[in-house]
Structure 1
Amino acid sequence: MTGYLRNGYCEVPASDYGNHAVAAEVTEEFLEFSARQGNDLRGVVSPGCKWCLCATRWLEAFEARTREPAGDKIVPKVFLNATNFKALDKIDINNLKQFAGK
């Protein structure tokens, strides 16, 4: 189950220093990118899974998309209605909106 508290919600308690606030659908390209950054999530999630991502890792993917061969595919689709407002501590809302799912 996703979420820092493994309760299915992108809650961000004070103990969550990773700010797992971004509700997103991961792609194979994102999982490969994350593994290269030192956090291999492939043992926990697979492409197409909805997951609460660390705001910083989502932002890293967003910023790296212009340098990566996979381009925009490394940036997971965001579900704004399920993303915790604490994501805005790290990410501009307009950047999240660019990759918002419908």
Structure 2
Amino acid sequence: MEKDASINVLGDTLTPCSVRDPVTGFFRDGHCNTCAEDRGSHTVCAVMTAEFLAFSKYLGNDLSTPRPEFGFAGLRPGDQWCLCAARFVQAYEEGCAPRVHLAATHQRALDIVPLAMLRANAS
């Protein structure tokens, strides 16, 4: 798998989203890097909230429950994580989108998420 260029939505070098264990990102490199094989477009660097974690769990993607068999401690409010761009849009439309770090959000997110939407939730 070949990574796309590490450029953020502002046109600058992509900064890290999170380096805590477990490390986030499609490549598990702490960045919201992506490639052609990343069908979910894990490109939006988001700061988790209790409301968003409950929303994601309700939709079938439980990010808060630890899964030790996968080395996943579960996310808590305040943790940063590379979200699927479409899930961010879905949460935004439902009024529960998390804050985002624009410098750590990959430019490919713009294929799905309008920049104005990201800016409205910028931290």
TM-score normalized by the length of structure 1: 0.88
Give the gaps of 5 or more residues in structure 2: 1-22, 66-73
Quote the offset at 1:14 in angstroms: 1.4
Task: Give the 3-state SS of the residue equivalent to 1:10 in structure 2.
Answer: coil
Residue 62 (1) aligns with residue 84 (2): no
Alignment root-mean-square deviation, CA: 0.7
How many Å separate the matches in 2 of 1:9 and 1:41? 18
How many Å separate the matches in 2 of 1:16 and 1:47? 25
Give the gaps of 5 or more residues in structure 1: 66-73
Within 5 Å, give how 1:1-102 maps onto structure 2: 1-43=23-65, 44-65=74-95, 74-101=96-123
Name the structure with the higher helix share.
Answer: 1
The number of aligned residues is: 93
Task: Give the 3-state SS of the residue equivalent to 2:117 in structure 1.
Answer: helix
How many Å separate the matches in 1 of 2:36 and 2:122? 26
TM-score normalized by the length of structure 2: 0.73
Runs of 4+ in 1 over 6 A off after TM superposition: none
Q: Percent identity?
A: 44
